[in-house]
Amino acid sequence: MKKMQQGFVRRANVCGILRQGDFSVMKKNRNRQANWQMNQQRLKQWNRTQLNIIRTRSRWRMSHL
């Protein structure tokens, strides 16, 4: 359980860093619509990678009990 919590904290930190980066981009980029679409795509990709990581980890745990 402790390992899971550590991973979650690390993931949250990465999210925070990403958000800060997006914020600086938004200041430069006045085109809100294009920016919003870019963020949506980035979020989708991010979620997909997270799901894949979770899946592979759980599969690994099941096979290595």
pLDDT grade for 52, boundaries at 50, 70 and 90 = confident
Please work out, in degrees rounded to the nearest 5, the angle formed at the alpha carbon of residue 8 by the alpha carbons of 48 and 35.
45
Of residues 2 and 45, which shows the higher confidence score?
45
Question: Measured over all CA atoms, what is the biggest interatomic distance in the chain, rounded to whole angstroms?
Answer: 52
* DSSP 3-state of 19: helix
pLDDT in tens, 6-38: 555 555 555 555 555 555 555 665 677 788 888
Low-confidence winner among 8-12, 27-31, 47-51, 55-59 (lowest mean pLDDT): 8-12
